[in-house]
Amino acid sequence: MRRVRYTSRGGPLFLEDAPVPVPGPGELLVRCAAVGVTLPVVRKVTEAVEPVPLGGEVAGDVVATGGGVSGFRPGDRVTGLCFGHGYADFALLHHSMASPIPDGAAAVDAVALVRSGLVALGALTAARPLPGETALVTAAASGVGHLAVQLARTRGAARVVGAVSDRAKADFVRSLGVDDAVVYDDDWGNPVDYVLDAVGGELLTPAVDALAAGGRLVAYSSGGGTVRAYDLMAGARTVTGFQLARVAREEPELYEKWRRELWDRFSEGSLRPVVHGRFGLSEAAAAHEVIASRRNLGKVVLVP
């Protein structure tokens, strides 16, 4: 089979021939039909001291199972998070991280929807939204953000604002149904009840400033940043950190409930995952460049 690898910090990425892996206990061997490209994986290539396997979201057909697997068999279509080599023709997926792809949904839909949607839905849930409130989502054109703005509406937001890094992304965000699209350097308009922030860093300060009295900021970025305590105290605002891995590990029932909600929203048409581009395995470097340069509108996907 083919897989993408790199041997030194920063790349380059290259294709190599490798044996098809053998599923161990609890594992599914999946023939990959789609692989999601994420910012954390792109950052690992440029920042990790030692090369790591390029994992992430995969979707495709189960071709074999290891011992102790229940609920899945060869021929099933699944999606899930792969912690090993995922940029490949075949990947190993632990059955606890797998979920079935419903009829009528393509593999590309699955990698664009499930993992990014779980992050978006989890961050939104952490904001404790109430019907009629106003919401602002940063990185609103990203793989997670473009789903978050739609989900905020399904949870009852009366006004949704999408914040983006480039004015060229505004029309895309508006096509998702937001009421306003703003650029980070602009005035963000009237205060909002909650902000879902996927950027961090210097953007945390304007994100807090955008909150109305009693407003809530949910931070789910790996970009770091600092919030001044006084800025929270002055308006009785709060900041909550969200990490999907903790939910997957400690609250599997909630994790599964969110997965079902995402597919329900998809089936009813209220949640529309958008794919920015489809790249072959040999084009993995180009896919990474799209993410690194923040040019993507929606999800970037590899299609082996």
Q: Which amino acid is at 232?
A: L
The single-letter DSSP state of residue 199 is: -
**What does pLDDT average to over the chain?**
95
pLDDT greater than 90 at residue 97: no
Compute the average pLDDT of residues 12-41: 96
Q: Which amino acid is at 99?
A: S
Contact 127, 183 (CB under 8 A): no
Q: How far apart are CA 84 and CA 167, in angstroms?
A: 37
Residue 174 backbone dihedrals phi, psi, to 5 degrees: -65, -35
Contact 260, 282 (CB under 8 A): no
Q: How far apart are CA 149 and CA 136, in angstroms?
A: 8
Q: How far apart are CA 238 and CA 217, in angstroms?
A: 6
**Residue 163's closest CA among 140, 146, 145, 179?**
140
Q: Domain check: are 132 and 188 in the same one? A: yes
Compute the average pLDDT of residues 19-25: 97
Q: Domain check: are 186 and 78 in the same one? A: no
pLDDT in tens, 42-80: 999 999 889 999 999 999 999 999 999 989 999 999 999
Contact 274, 112 (CB under 8 A): yes
Cα 104 to Cα 100, 101, 151, 300: the distances in Å are: 12, 9, 21, 21
Does pTM top 0.85 for this prediction?
yes
Can you give the pLDDT at residue 291? Answer: 94
Can you give the pLDDT at residue 209? Answer: 95
Helix locations, the chain, DSSP H: 39-47, 107-126, 145-154, 170-175, 204-209, 229-234, 244-250, 252-268, 284-292
Can you give the pLDDT at residue 221? Answer: 86
- CATH classification at residue 295: 3.90.180.10
Q: Domain check: are 228 and 283 in the same one? A: no
The parent domain of residue 29 ranges over 2-101+274-302
Helix locations, 79-175, DSSP H: 107-126, 145-154, 170-175
Q: Say how many domains are in the chain.
A: 2
Can you give the pLDDT at residue 176? Answer: 97
Q: Domain check: are 217 and 193 in the same one? A: yes
When comparing pLDDT for 92 and 40, which is higher? 92
Q: Domain check: are 137 and 238 in the same one? A: yes
Q: Domain check: are 124 and 185 in the same one? A: yes
